[in-house]
Structure 1
Amino acid sequence: MGYGFRMRERIYQAFFGNKRCCLLFLTLHASLFTLNLVAQPGTWLTHPSFLSAQTLAAVQNKIYCASENGFFYYDPAANEATRLSRDDGFSESGISQLFYLADQKRLLIGYRSGTIDLLAVTDTGEPGNLTTITLIRDAAQIQGSKRINQLTRAGNDAYLACDFGIVVLDVARAEVRDTYRNIGPGGTPVTVYATALANDSIYASTSRGLLAARFAPTVNLAFFGSWKTVSLPPGTSVKSVVGVTNRLYAALPGQGVAERQGGRWTVIKPLPTITGLLSTATEWIATAPDELQRVSGVLMQNALLGEPKEITEAAGSFWVADSLSGLLRITGTAVQAVSPDGPASDVFQRLVSSPSARILALPGGFTDDLKPLRRRRGFDQFQAGRWQNFLTPALPTDFVTAAYNPVDQRTYLGSFGGGLWSTTNPNPAEVVNRVFTTISSLAVDPNGDVWLATPTLDFGRATIQVRRKNGQFESFTPSRGDIQQLIIDDNGFLWMRLSTYNGGGMQVFDPATKRTRLLSDQSGEGSLPDRNVRSLVKDRDGLIWIGTDNGVAVFDNPSAVFTATVNAYRPVFDRRRLLSGESVTALAVDGGNRKWIGTGNGLYLFNEDGTVLLNAFTADNSPLPSSQITDLAIEPASGDVFIATPNGLVSYGGTASEPAPVFAGITIFPNPVRPDFGGLVSIRGLVENTVVKIMDAGGQLVYETRSQGGTATWNLRDYRGRSAETGVYFVFAITADGKEGMAGKLAVVR
């Protein structure tokens, strides 16, 4: 038994005590496994939807599959799905094509950007080394989209169908050999959706129709004159084409599967409802609503089948990449969905946090003229490291807002056209009121009354509703009804963000006196940096923070809003007004009263008053899928920050959580710290402004800090910057007044 093992054993005994040491360690290990589903402090997690499957490949005994923003492989023998991402070394997200090079044991991964990864795999299909080719992505002479749409292989040459033409890739040398651009009639540019090899020709399905060229060494395929337009039956168009065993097949809408024989098309499989054509290595497979058909008849009829994109056959099953249902396995007549856990969508307009440690992701939203921005039934919920989808047909098309009511412990949801709904976790939502059909924003006051904004561009109509605790509704009519967002301040006043389509600005309404105050960019009347207000939030001190198209403003005395003169102040950072010139699209306040600010150019973390920049993230320096931030929400118990962008949803392990009202126990994570850990240790369960002291076994002070809300963090370095050594450390947490305290132990193994 080596010295390292004995040293670790002593640490575990010192930490846990000699009794039941193994049992306690195993219990801790199991809890760590669960907690690892949530981002550790200072780290990122991506939350892609795996239901929007686009492409797949059978790789040894694994099935690799990519959705719009997700990537994973499935092991049929173990019935396990393993997520893959940029954290595993892949170039980026946004995979558009997978193709397995079996003779080389390499998986070709094509991206929407034009980047190509060549992934070496083991004999059992696990990922290995990676080679990246960026020539297409970086080609300055190619303007516009460089998306890789499809791939056809002939020997060592892979013909990549791209949005700008065809690229020939030598897969043996991992280099681009040729590019065919402007191959349309007369040399016009075309988008190439797919290529197929058949009848001694290469066919290209393009934005200018079906093109073909003789496939021979003497033919210059880079010359547009080599490509001829293939005629189609009168009144038809080609939906998709595939080449199987040197024969060409096409999907003819309204007719079925047609084969090109002797220069003519012959329908060999009548299927009037045909939507497309896929292929395996040995046969074509036609797609129709809820149905797959092959030469011998129906392969599959199932409601799970939505929009199949690709199909392959392996491990005794057919595998389908479906853009609505994810990866499907078809074995005989049985159909199984095998995608990893995740949200049902990649794009969310609204994120809402709940004190019950939940994040609700809502797909719906409004345009500036109060029209629906996106339409998808239901909503998604993240809790305890797992996603749950609420997508039943009975739910309204568009949930656009939500608010948690701690009095009745229900979450209320507002929809576009479907009224007010509510839910208690984990039960599905149920309708509360359909009279107020369209609800743009919800807020709950301390009494448990639920306030609804029911917007309209028509003046003089009641556009504020309140549902009292007894279930009765009351209506109010403020000056303007074009309400995009509603929050409640500590005085009970309603602060409202108004539609930029109707002049923008804000209004404040006092339900007790029926007073309304309109706020604009005029001095004395609000002095907003810009009339286009994009976001509102109330901080922990009761101040109202405003995000506009010209930076941030703050109302630091909300109780005086109905006085004669009202002016917001603008925090100053780096000798200029905070984020002046930037559109501030999202605001959130963490447990330390720090301000998370989302803009069209990135995500910022500022201190309590917005004068000190603590962190800045963009798509270039972080895993953010886009620098354009749509919305923010902070899970209060952990402090994790959820960030919605047009290209997907991510979360960042926060370092500030909501403070506990009194000490009831502290949580130290991770504990023990293992040799490969390089992040932050978090101490949670603290009260506001807790003093945290970390001491070594000899009683020497190693580190001291104060909590941000209910969380303190340690970077495992002492006050001189030296890395913490192997040993047991004692953590002391003391209230700011020194009257209460708690202690814990932390084991560090190096």
Structure 2
Amino acid sequence: MNVKGIVCRKRGRSISLLHSSFIILHLSFITLLPCAKAQPGTWHSHPSFLSAQTLAAVQNKIYCASENGFFYFDPTANETTRLSRDDGFSENGISQLFYVSEQKRLLIGYRSGTIDLLSVSDSGEPGPLTTITLIRDATQIPGSKRINHVSRTGNDAYLACDFGIVVLDVVKSEIRDTYRNIGPNGTPVVVYATALTNDSIYASTSRGLLAARFTPTVNLAFFGNWKTVSLPPGASVQSVVGVNNRLYVAWPGQGVAERQGGRWTVVKPLPTITGLLATATEWIATAPDELQRASGVLMQNALLGEPKEITEAADSFWVADSLSGLLRLTGTAVQSVSPDGPASDVFQRLTADPSGQVLALPGGFSDDLKPLRRRRGFDRFSDGRWQNFLTSSLPTDFVTAGYNPTDQRTYLGSFGGGLWSSDNPNLAEVVNRVFANISSLTVDPNGDVWLATPTLDFGKATIHVRRKTGQFESFIPGRGDIHQLILDDSGFLWMRLSSYNGGGMQVFDPKTNRTRLLYNQSGEGDLPDRNVRSLVKDRDGLIWIGTDNGVAVFDNPAAVFTGTVNAYRPVFDRRRLLSGESVTALAVDGGNRKWIGTTNGIYLFNEDGTVLVENFTADNSPLPSSQITDIAVEPTRGEVFIATPNGLVSYGGTASEPAPVFAGITVFPNPVRPDFGGLVSVRGLVENTVVKIMDAGGQLVYETRSQGGTATWNLRDYRGRSAETGVYFVFAVSPDGKEGLAGKLAVVR
């Protein structure tokens, strides 16, 4: 299966090292194909396509939406195409798809209440888009406005929403009516779905199954016209479906029941029934690993986890499964056809390492040291693709990871399964199960792996080290409720502690067994708040602390065990840095700049926190949520990965790890084509490299200094004028001025 727009391939060659003063060389840079994942200043979403929620057969394509992803599948070409806000769609959170075939328009309903009406070509390709925001923007409707289901009769589509029912004229693209507070005595209800029969409309709601006469003389906006309909014992109102003017429900322990003469009658015995779906022409019952039609078993397969919707097209059945993605069922064969992506949208921890891989870990734990999530395995992003490691042999809740350059393996700690290791691209293997519950790990320059095994009890060994020889050694620090640990340049372990047990921080010296507790008291750390959320060591060896009241820095970690110890708080815009903000994540890029995640967005500050470079929120960027869970910066490209409760995204950073010496540089895109509007990036530089851009006539166009190993050009000269078509020379000079690299960049306008 081919997937569009996923893999970037490198072409060309690098520039050789120069051991001389500034010299012009007429050599070519490495040329890279444009790649959204790596271009500075651009965003890329990483949704899970396995959490499929809704689908629609559109001409000869199958459109499918997961919790945060959207794509279509072409059965003829056996190819998937991703869709997103970059293609003009309103949002990420699609909750319902419904195809109006005679108009060749796809109705796209969102969790926010927004409606997109997508026109499609004869072959099902996306076309012009019309957006309706009346529901989303309705101030008189409180709470959630999610669109849960769409049914249709004539020109009217009935949208089941979290606040009631909306009637949409699909020809005029107008909202014609709204039915709210239709529950008993006018109570508000969540409407999960509607079903139409010859003379009645049924609504599956949070107050049970409601029904009303479906005639022009009945006012459906009046709650008194809606009556409660009893269900079979144990039946879920969300399993009620309408097919061919008939009403069916899944009756647990019995089978499929039909509403006949005011009673429910079993029409298909199926004791293992778990739910009921419907195509345009028939009901299909769900059971463990099984779908069953009235005529017999449709399919049995372990991929059938949690089917949400089903349709029939192109000689196959298509299932939107919230655990397995989009499935194609043909005869006895089941094929997963979802695009590449992580297995989940929610990750508690991200890590990145010099090998170029990013790990997304689903597990975490609360302040009282109880697991937050229960999902096996982990996800790895490498070479532009995601790999999902979800086999049953892996323990639940991987919560921490670290790369060991000594043996070139990644070590992973789980909450319940011990210590594991993996070498890319192989699956993880167990290293030690004795230390079962690992909350954090880090690797020192010698290749020793340090572990924290937290407990709320005092006096127990909660720090352990696996020497590179494979031997383990354990230590007893002052407190064992350890959420995160990092190593400073002196070999001291800095730990953030559980707020459940008093919060604060602890520093431990494993060579002397000294322990120092740091709190918000003057002389004893002077933290902005006792609740510490995040820790990071920057490129100068300083320890940065994120708390529920902003940021603090320990600028002399080596002196932490001597006398009075106070953190300082950087000042930005005449106030303490992010005072009043809960700082949930910290990361350092190759330019020693600080990426700071909060509950209100993400900030990029300069190296000392006094200059704001960028500020992103869900309102001014593609961030799916302003609540930041974690941040990791991939060092070789500078790509910044950001985890939120609503999904994972990455941003093309403008800094990368500096090279130790000039050994070749890359510039991309090259050539710059007319439709390119981003930043040109020069990478492979040493720290503080001066980069000069000159035109073919030898005139200086632009000059900058690298952030770590990367410099960028916005394709404008020093007067702000856009670069014209031509060949430009790029010169890179080390801070001492003794080494230089040169190459050519083509710009086409």
TM bucket, shorter chain: over 0.9
Runs of at least 4 residues off by over 2 Å: 231-239
Q: Which residue of 2 aligns with 1:713?
A: 712
Cα distance per residue 1:570-629 (max 9 Å; x no partner)? 000000000000000000000000000000001000000000001100000000000000
The more displaced of 548-557 and 167-176 is: 167-176
Q: Relative to structure 1, is the Cα distance of residues 403 and 225 closer, same or farther in structure 2, using a 3 angstrom cutoff?
A: same
The one-letter code sitting in structure 2 at the alignment partner of 1:738 is: G
Matched, 1:464 2:463: yes
Shift, 1:304, TM fit: 0.5
Maintained 8 Å contact 1:239/1:251: no
Q: Structure 1 residues 236 and 543 mapped into 2: Cα distance closer, same or farther (>3 Å)?
A: closer
Percent of aligned positions that are identical: 86
Q: CA deviation at 1:195?
A: 0.6
1:384 alignment partner in structure 2: 383
1:257 aligns with 2:256: yes
- Could you tell me how far 1:231 is from its partner in structure 2? 2.3
Q: Could you say which residue in structure 2 is the equivalent of 1:3?
A: none
How far apart in 2 are the matches of 1:296 and 1:487? 61
User: Superposition pairs for residues 577-588 of structure 1, below 5 Å?
Assistant: 577-588=576-587
Equivalent residue number for residue 528 of structure 1: 527
TM-score by length of 1: 0.95
Q: How does 1:234-633 map to 2 (within 5 A)?
A: 234=233, 236-633=235-632
Q: CA deviation at 1:139?
A: 1.2
The reply to whether residue 99 of structure 1 matches residue 83 of structure 2 is: no
CA distance in 1, matches of 2:217, 2:647: 46
1:37-85 Cα deviation digits (max 9, x unpaired): 5241000000000000000001111110000000011111111111111
Q: Quote the residue 2:636 is aligned against.
A: 637
Give the equivalent residue in structure 2 for 1:689. Answer: 688
| Cα contact 2:618–2:626 (8 A) shared by 1 | yes
CA distance in 2, matches of 1:168, 1:596: 46
Residue 4 of structure 1 corresponds to none
Aligned-partner Cα distance in 2 for 1:633–1:436: 26
Q: Could you tell me how far apart the structure 1 residues matched to 2:493 and 2:364 are?
A: 21
CA contact (8 A) 1:588 1:596 kept: yes
Greater mean alpha carbon deviation, residues 272-281 or residues 69-78: 272-281
Q: Which residue of 1 aligns with 2:19?
A: none
SS at match of 1:103: helix
Pairs within 5 Å for 1:155-304: 155-234=154-233, 236-304=235-303
CA contact (8 A) 2:234 2:252 kept: no
CA contact (8 A) 2:379 2:389 kept: yes
Does the residue aligned with 1:722 lie in a helix, a strand or coil?
A: coil
**Partners in 2 of 1:198 and 1:303 — Cα distance?**
35
Q: Deviation at 1:384?
A: 1.1
Match runs of 1:75-94 below 5 Å? 75-94=74-93
CA contact (8 A) 1:54 1:321 kept: yes
Alpha-carbon distance in structure 1 between the residues aligned to 2:246 and 2:585: 54
In the aligned structure 2, how far is the partner of 1:668 from the partner of 1:237?
59
> 1 CA distance for matches of 2:437 and 2:334?
38
Deviates more, 1:591-600 or 1:219-228: 219-228
Shift of 1:208: 1.3
Partner of residue 653, structure 2: 654
Q: 1:386 to 1:683 in 2, by over 3 A?
A: same
CA distance in 2, matches of 1:142, 1:274: 37
* Superposed displacement of residue 199, structure 1: 3.9
2:60 is matched with 61
- Give the equivalent residue in structure 1 for 2:123: 124
CA change 1:525–1:294 in 2 (3 A) is same
Secondary structure of the residue aligned to 1:481 is coil
Q: Give the Cα–Cα distance (whole angstroms) in 2 for the partners of residues 199 and 41 of structure 1.
A: 58
Matched residue, 1:70: 69
Question: How many positions carry a matched residue from both structures?
Answer: 725
SS of corresponding position for 1:698: coil
Distance in 1, Cα, partners of 2:78 & 2:688? 47
**Partners of 2:564 and 2:170 in 1: CA distance:** 71
Contact 1:37 1:385 in 2 (8 A): no
| 1:327 Cα deviation from its structure 2 partner | 0.3
1:422-470 Cα shifts (integer Å, max 9, x gaps): 0000110000000000000001111100000010000000110000011
Q: Is the 8 A contact 2:398 2:415 kept in 1?
A: yes
Evaluate the alpha carbon distance shift between residue 312 and residue 468 of structure 1 in structure 2; reply closer, same or farther with a 3 A threshold: same
**Counterpart residue identity of residue 396, structure 1:** P
User: What is the SS of the residue equivalent to 1:92?
Assistant: coil
Q: Which moved more, 1:595-604 or 1:220-229?
A: 220-229
- Structure 2 SS opposite 1:446: coil
- Write the distance in 2 (CA, Å) between the matches of 1:705 and 1:239: 60
CA distance in 1, matches of 2:179, 2:55: 26
Larger RCO, structure (CA 8 Å, separation 6 or more): 2
What one-letter code is carried by the residue in structure 2 that aligns with 1:431? V
Distance 1:37 1:385, change over 3 A: farther
In 2, Cα distance between the equivalents of 1:358 and 1:466?
A: 24
Structure-1 separation of matches of 2:140 and 2:213: 27
1:1-150 aligned within 5 A? 31-32=32-33, 36=35, 38-150=37-149
C-alpha contact (below 8 Å) 1:520/1:528 kept by paired residues? yes
Q: Distance in 1 between matches of 2:423 and 2:741?
A: 34
**Residue 28 of structure 1: CA displacement?**
7.9
Matched position secondary structure for 1:518: strand
Question: What is the distance in 2 between the residues matched to 1:411 and 1:28?
Answer: 30
Q: Is the CA contact (8 Å cut-off) linking 2:211 and 2:226 kept in structure 1?
A: yes
SS in 1 for 2:688: coil
Give the letter aligned to residue 481 of structure 1.
G
Please state whether the residue corresponding to 2:240 is helix, strand or coil. strand
AA at the equivalent of 2:513: K
Give the whole-Å Cα distance in 1 for the aligned partners of 2:183 and 2:375: 38
What are the superposed Cα offsets for residues 401-438 of structure 1, whole Å, 9 maximum, x if unpaired?
00000001110000011100000001100000000000
Q: Measure, in 1, the Cα distance between the counterparts of 2:236 and 2:106.
A: 33
Shift of 1:340: 0.6
What does residue 6 of structure 2 align with?
Answer: none
Contact 2:166 2:177 in 1 (8 A): yes
Deviation at 1:635, TM superposition (A): 0.3
Rounded Cα–Cα distance in structure 2 between residues aligned with 1:564 and 1:438 = 34
Say whether the 8 Å CA contact 2:234–2:251 is kept in structure 1: no
Are 1:666 and 1:744, in contact at CA under 8 Å, matched by a contact in 2?
A: no
Letter in 1 for 2:124: G
After superposition, what is the alpha-carbon deviation per residue over 1:512-545, rounded to whole angstroms, capped at 9, x for unaligned? 1110000011111101000000000000000000
2: distance between equivalents of 1:353 and 1:239? 42
Separation of aligned partners in 2, 1:394 and 1:71: 31
> Aligned-pair distance for 1:237?
4.7
Q: Is the 8 A contact 2:233 2:251 kept in 1?
A: no
Q: Which residue of 1 aligns with 2:24?
A: none
> Separation in 2 of the partners of 1:435 and 1:460?
18
8 Å CA contact retained: 1:239, 1:253: no
For structure 1, the 5+ residue unaligned runs are: 1-11, 16-23
Contact 1:591 1:657 in 2 (8 A): yes
1:598 is paired with a residue whose SS is strand
Counterpart CA distance in 1 for 2:451 and 2:589 is 25
Q: Is the 8 A contact 2:55 2:97 kept in 1?
A: yes
